[in-house]
Structures are given as structure tokens and as C-alpha cells.
Structure 1
Amino acid sequence: MRRIQAGNALSAFGLGFTVPYLYVYVAQVRDLGATTAGAVLGAFAMAALVALPFTGRIIDRRGPLPVLVGAALLASVGAMSMGLAGDVTTVVLSAAVLGAGTAVMQPALATMIVWASRPSGRTRAFALQFFMQNLGLGLGGLVGGQLVDKSRPGSFTLLFGIEAVMFLVLAGIAVTIRLPRPAPLPGTPAGQTEAKGGLRVLLGHKAMVQLCVLGFVLFFACYGQFESGLAAYGTEAAGIEPATLGTALAANTAVIVLAQFLVLKFVERRKRTRVIGAVGLIWAVAWILAGYAGLGSGSQAMATAAFISTYALFGLGEALLAPTVAPMVADLAPESMVGQYNSAFALVKQLALALGPAIGGPMGASLHGPYIVTFVLFSLGITVLAVRLGRQLTPVQNQPSLGAVSRVVAQHKPADKSAAAV
């Protein structure tokens, strides 16, 4: 598990080096224009959507390790070729290779965490993964920002080279790992661990379908708005300076890093769906604060504080989601389909991240009032969907700590009535 988490952090560190500067690199440093930069970002996202539907079945048939190694090598090639690219065709193809590689890593790493953890420790394992990802992305962006120089294309080549090396290190760490098969969740219905793979099985699993719908709304209403709709709304409606957007993102990351392990005990003692429902309410408050920032009724300082608070509240919600949603996907999956379930959820995430900016960006820039109302309603919808999902889960799936308690009770159960009497 330590090796998996270290590799996860290194890959996030490499991505943090380049992703924030991809648009600037293509449009300005390579002087290929805004249209090409948009095509590059589109290729990055579309490659993920193309690759993920095939990833889960391969993971379940071959195991997550070879898939992770192959994805890391593919991403390394994409990163290096991106750093050396100088024409439209090369940068678009490089972005597609890089996007496919990094997308396939997500379900492979998630499946490895499932295989390397017991159900009782899965909540903390996924919380640590989320923490390490954010820490890696934040540090990568910070260090990368100190190295880049638009007047020196070589500085960007260096960044992509470092990213390529990070992916090679991830592959090197992965080949040293020996994984056990995953332990089934206590209370898993008989026969569920023997389920055969296939889209029909997944679509017939009502709880998983509802979780995917919930996941789409979660990612669409939060991550899909960070650097598009919400940023446009902040600068256009609230008069936020572009530099303040960086401060807001830093506040978001700081809350995640500080709160992640503080909320674990709170999460572990409660039903997962209730925690997710609470996130919907927290995010509704965050959107209301964003709406206040754009009203213009207070001072600019108050608007700025409200806008930064919006990102901070999003961070608190993310810290609560990390130990609930991803482990739930793993606990719902039949043993033979863990990779397919993780890939399906990663695909839903990618769809939300693709549609979020496309819809939220124009709304945030021009339809200020409807934009805020829409996403307040989306946040409240999260709470409603979470409550409905809770009705489809077994008590142990919704609160794994109950399984640990039941095992302890079983171990201390008297053998017969005479023993109990004694």
C-alpha cells in the first residue's frame, strides 16, 4: 500500500507540473494559437473517454499491475513528445496519448488499492490517496510555476521531461509490488463475488447505477466548474482579480490537506450516504456565498472573502467525499468486476469534467443569476440522490464499521447456553 500511494503521489506531482500550463504552452510558447490549444485540451479529454470503456475488462482479466505499468509508459511517451512537439498534428496526438495514459491510471490505481486493503481499512486508504493526489498536484504546480518562462521554450521542455520521468518512476515502483486478491466486504450477498463481467451486470446493479448518477452530479457541480464557470463568474460578476483565483484554489487545497484526516473519524462512524448528503448542503451554502459575491451589494473585500470561502467550502466537501464515494464503488463491485466498476465510475467522472466547463463556462460568464440558482439546485440534488442511494445499500455497505463490530461480536459469542450461564 505504501508503494501504491507513493506512486500515486509521484504521478500527481508530474501532472501538476504541466496541466496548469498546457494552454499557455500550446497557444503562446509554441505559437500555435488558441484554436489549437482548445483542440489539445479536447484531445486530452476525448482520449480518456475512448480508453476507459475498455480498461475495466482488461484490469479484471490481466490484473491492475500490467495495466498501470502500460498506462504509465504510455503517459511518459505522451509527455516527452509533448515537450518536443512543434506543430499542430504532433501536439494533438501527444495530448491524446498523454490523456489516455493518465486516464487509465485512475481505475488501475483504485483497483490496486482495493486489492491491497481490507474492507475495514479501505476508507482510510482512499482518503490517503486523495490527500496524496492533492499534495502532489499542489507541489507540482508550485515547483513548475517557478521553472516556466514563456520566453524560453526549453523551460517547458524541461517540465514535460520531468513529468515523463515521474511516470517512469511510477512504472518502476509498480513492477516491485505483489498484490493479494481483494477481501470481500462482510455481508456481501451470496454469489456476488462470483459475478461474471459485462456491461449488462453493471447496468443491472441498481445501487451502482444510482451511484454513477450521483457521481456525475458531484463532479459536474464541483470539479467541472472550478476553472471554467466559477472562475468566469468570479471575474465577470464579482469583479475578482485573476490573481485571486489562485488564492481561492490555494484555499481549496489547504482545506483538503488540513481537514482530510480530521474528518476521518467523523466519516467512519456515520453512514456514507448521510455524509454525501451533508456535502450537498455544504456545497449549496458555497454556491450561495458565490452568489453573494456577485451581487455587488457589499465591498470588494467582502466579495473577495466570500468567493475564497466558496472554494474553501468546496474543499471541505471534497475531504468528506474522498473516504466515502471511491470505497463505496469498490464495496459494491463483485470481486471479478472491481476493475470494470472503477473504470465505469472513472468514465462518469470524465464525462462530467468534459460537460461541466462546456455548460458552466458560458453560463458563468453571462447568465450570472441563473448560473448560481442552477448549481444551488444541483447541490441540493446531491443530498436527494444520496438519500435515495442509501435505500439500495446493505447496512455494511453504507457503514463498513458495522461489519467490523459484527465480526468482534461473533468471535466472543458463547458456544452454548451453559457457557453463557457460567
Structure 2
Amino acid sequence: MPADTARTGPLAFWDELPRDGRWLLSTVVVQFFGRGLTLPFTIIYLHEVRGFSLSLAGTLMGLIAITGLVVTWPAGVLVDRLGARVVVVGGLLAAMGGLGLLAFATEPWVAAVALCLFGIQLGIAWPAVNALVATVVTGDLRQRYYGVSFALLNLGIGVGGVVGGLLMDVERPTTFVVAFVVNAACFVPALLVQLGPLRHLHGRATRPEASSDDGARPAGYLTILRTPAVWWLTVLALLASFVGYGQMEAGFPAFARQASQVSTRVVGFAFVVNTVVIVAFQFWVMGRARGRRRTRVLMVMALVWAASWAVLGATGLVAGTAAAVAGVLVFHALFGFGETMLQSAMPAVLNDLAPDHLRGRYNALQSGAFQVGSIVGPVAAGFLLDHGQSGAFVAVVVAGCLACVVVLVALERIVTPEVNGVSERRSAPAETR
């Protein structure tokens, strides 16, 4: 394309993507629209609609992460041996079954089975999808792909959150049933793409012959974890999950309802604010972060998150007022801004460290750390908030954000400049067929 007619921004990115990369992105918004319908309301559904105690609801939510943790490790091995696409398909089927069952779960054990099925998909998604992306998209385009995919993901969640906020009503349980059924149906387009246009992909790299090179020798999870950079990245993932995504489905909605005393509609629109910020700033953050130390970008993220949780904590002092509503919305705006930094830097660091033939295991290890944080997060939130310890809850989360900064200081000292994003690295494309 001539220089004077070359497209810029998102359109230029789309032009640079290979065909398979475009297919992978094509279903993200639809899939996560369904997620947005239920993401802010699952714990509210379990507690206020199905009548489970807040502690029990928090524990049930933790089952998602427990199951994800259990399946993540074998999933990483299967990705490296069988290929990422087959594993992705299995996860999509599990999610559809779990969400469909959850819609009609009136007993705790039924909800537990449903959430475990959904946890299978979450445990599989990180290692399988990231590995599949890495075999299709290479070089600098890979880091940009992760950022754009995250923006589209949040666009879907945000639009779903708007619809969910307008639809959900604890006085009409049927509205929750419909939302979970729609969520299950939103996985169908992704499944069709994997079984149709992308059926030629297996998503694994050929293992190199054994040699003196460390990357060519067989490596289990413990061997990989002994790599100092991987160790610190794993600790960072655990902390980031606990203070971040581990609280999005449990800590934040429960605090907003109980301590801030805002309506479910406000909770839903808070996720809309989150999405607007991510979509509006993701490309700007990607541009600013390009060529800068990724560890420094992540440090800013941790500090922004600490500030966001402090703002949410302050809403408890003005519960039930317009100021509380404003604070809840500001919380998600700040949190979303931090997310743009996390998603444009962290996956790139990990996948630049990972040898192609071990990419599934590397991603599974980080996914497992995220799952551990997601187990502890909802359980801790449910326990503290159910016992009226909202101040302690906020203090713990803010302390976790500050701990992320300490971890990043250690990580920066040991990663190479190439992995840290301050110089270009040339690498041969991985085998994708």
C-alpha cells in the first residue's frame, strides 16, 4: 500500500495480521459479551437469588480457580504435545456445559459442579489460547496482538455489563437464568471458528533435537520454575490475580453492595466505565510502552491499582450516597487504566522468555499462579466482608499491590533487555502447521 494511503492505528494493525490471527480475534467480542452479562453478578446471583450465604457463595466462586489450577498443569503439557487448538476446543465445550447448568442451579452442589466445569475452561484458556496466538503471530506484532485482544475482550465485557445491569433484577430470578444461558451460547461462534477456518492449525512447535542448549532439553514445571525470571513472574502473577481479577467477581461486587451500598445497576455500569477506559487508552498505552522497560510499566500498573482500591475503600465512609456511586465508578476507571499496562506487557515478557516447544508449559505455569490468586481472592473477600471487616479487606488488597512493585524490582535486575522490551529481538517464526 502506498505510504500516502497507508492506514494507521487499529486498521494498520488489522492489515498486518495474518489471516489466522484475524480469525482468532473475530470472536473475542461476542464470547466476552456473554461473560460481561454475568461477570459482575455471579456472586450476587448465588447469594441474593439462590439464597446461599456470602461465605458459601465466595467459597463456591473459589471453585472456579481451584478447578482451573488442577487442569492448568496437564493442559500445558497437552498443548505442547497435542497442540493448542484441540485443548481450546475442549475448554469451550466445558464452559458451555457449566454455564448452562449454573443457570438452573438451586442447590449448592449443582452450582459447585457448574462452576467446576466453567473453571476447566478458565484453566485451559490461558496456556492454550496464548500458545496458539504465539504460533500464529510473531515479533513485535505479538505484543500488540495481546493488547488489542484485551481491548476487544473488555469491549465485549463492557457491552455485556450494560445489558446485564439493565436486565438483572434480584426480584426476577428469571433474568439471571436468561443471562447465564446467553453466556453459554456466546461460546458457540468461537467453537465454530476453531472447527472451521482454523481446523488446519494444531498450534505446536517442533521440539528441537537434544543438545547442550538448555532450551532443547526436556523441561518439567519444576525445572522451568527454577529459572529466576520465571519464578519472579510467577509470584507477580499470583499477586496480580489476588489484588486484581481474583476480586472482580467477588470482592468488588460484594464490597460495592455491602459497604458502599450501591445498586446492582451501578455495579454493572462500573464495568462499563472499566471498558471505556480500556478501549480508549489501550492503543495509547501500547504506544507509550513500546520500547520502554516492561517492568517499569508494570510498576506503574501496581501503583494505579493501589490507588483504585483506596478510592473504593473510601466509598464505605459515604455509603449509599452519590459520592459512593462516584467512587465506585472512579475505582473501575483507575483499575481499567492499570489493566491496559498489565495486558500490554506481562504476556509479552513471558512469551519472549519461553522456548517455542515449551510455550504451553510456560503459559500454564503463569496461568496456575493466576488461579492460585483467584482461589485465595474470593475466599478472603467473602470471609472478611461476611464478618464486617471491609476496612481490613481494602488494606490487604492495597498491600498486595505494593508487594507487586517489590517483585518487579527484583525481576528487572535479572531479565535481559530484549525480554524487558527495550531492544528488538530477531527470532525465526515458530512452525504453526
Partner of 1:329 in structure 2? 350
- Give the 5 Å matches for 1:76-225: 76-83=96-103, 89-146=109-166, 156-175=176-195, 176-177=197-198, 178-179=200-201, 191-225=213-247
Q: CA deviation at 1:123?
A: 1.2
Q: What amino acid sits opposite 1:380 in the alignment?
A: L
Q: Which has the higher helix share?
A: 1
Identify the range of structure 1 (350-359 vs 287-296) with the bigger mean alpha-carbon deviation.
287-296
Q: Are positions 1:379 and 2:401 aligned together? A: yes
> Could you tell me how far apart the structure 2 residues matched to 1:301 and 1:145 are?
18
Query: Aligned-residue CA RMSD in angstroms?
Result: 3.5
Residue 12 of structure 2 corresponds to none
Contact 2:232 2:411 in 1 (8 A): yes
- Give the aligned partner of residue 413 of structure 1: none
Give the structure 1 partner of residue 330 of structure 2: 309
Equivalent position SS for 1:398? coil
SS in 1 for 2:219: coil
Pairing 1:49-64 to 2, within 5 Å after superposition: 49-64=69-84
Matched, 1:253 2:275: yes
- Counterpart Cα distance in 2 of 1:295 and 1:37: 25
CA distance in 2, matches of 1:215, 1:51: 17
The Cα shift of 1:9 comes to: 3.1
Greater relative contact order: 1 or 2 (C-alpha under 8 angstroms, separation 6 or more)? 2
Q: CA–CA distance in 2 between the matches of 1:368 and 1:93?
A: 30
* 1:127 positional shift: 0.4
Deviation at 1:257, TM superposition (A): 1.6
Identity %: 30
Per-residue deviation at 1:18?
Answer: 3.7
Shift of residue 69, structure 1, vs aligned partner: 1.1
Q: Structure 1 unaligned segments of length 5 or more: list them.
A: 185-189, 408-422
- Correspondences of 1:36-55 after superposition (within 5 Å): 40-55=60-75
State the distance in 2 between where 1:27 and 1:378 align.
Answer: 27
| Distance change (3 Å), C-alpha of 1:363 and 1:84 | closer
State the shift of 1:229 in Å. Answer: 3.8
Deviations 1:213-241 (A, max 9, x none): 01111121222334544555556655656
1:361-415 superposed Cα distances (whole Å, 9 cap, x missing partner) = 44467445544444333222222211210111111000164336x99xxxxxxxx
1:348 lines up with 2:369 in the alignment: yes
Segments of structure 2 that go 5 or more residues without pairing to the other structure are 1-20, 207-211, 429-433
The amino acid across from 1:142 in the alignment is V
Distance (Å, rounded) in 2 between the aligned partners of 1:235 and 1:78: 26
- In structure 2, how many angstroms separate the alpha carbons of the residues matched to 1:85 and 1:358? 20
Aligned equivalent of 1:69: 89
User: Which moves more between the two structures, 340-349 or 11-20?
Assistant: 11-20
TM-superposed CA distance for 1:276, in Å, is: 0.6
The answer to whether the 8 A contact 1:114-1:182 is kept is no
Range 45-54 or range 384-393, more displaced = 45-54
Distance 1:150 1:356, change over 3 A: closer
Shift in Å at residue 170 of structure 1?
Answer: 1.3
TM-score using structure 2 length: 0.80
Q: Report the number of matched residues.
A: 400
Q: What SS is found at the alignment partner of 1:378?
A: helix
1:177-198 deviations in Å (ceiling 9; x for gaps) = 14487899xxxxx835424231
The answer (yes or no) to whether the contact 2:259–2:316 under 8 Å persists in 1 is yes
Deviates more, 1:268-277 or 1:245-254: 245-254
Residues 301/143 of structure 1: CA separation in 2 closer, same or farther (3 Å cut): closer
Normalising by structure 1, report the TM-score: 0.82
Structure number with greater Rg is 1
CA distance in 2, matches of 1:239, 1:193: 53
Secondary structure of the 1:403 match is coil
Aligned letter for 1:7?
Answer: T
- The worse-fitting range, judged by mean Cα deviation, of 339-348 and 171-180 is 171-180
Determine helix, strand or coil for the equivalent of 2:424. helix
SS in 2 for 1:396: coil
Query: 2-side partners of 1:180 and 1:173: how far apart?
Result: 13
Q: Which whole-Å CA distance do the structure 2 matches of 1:335 and 1:207 have between them?
A: 17
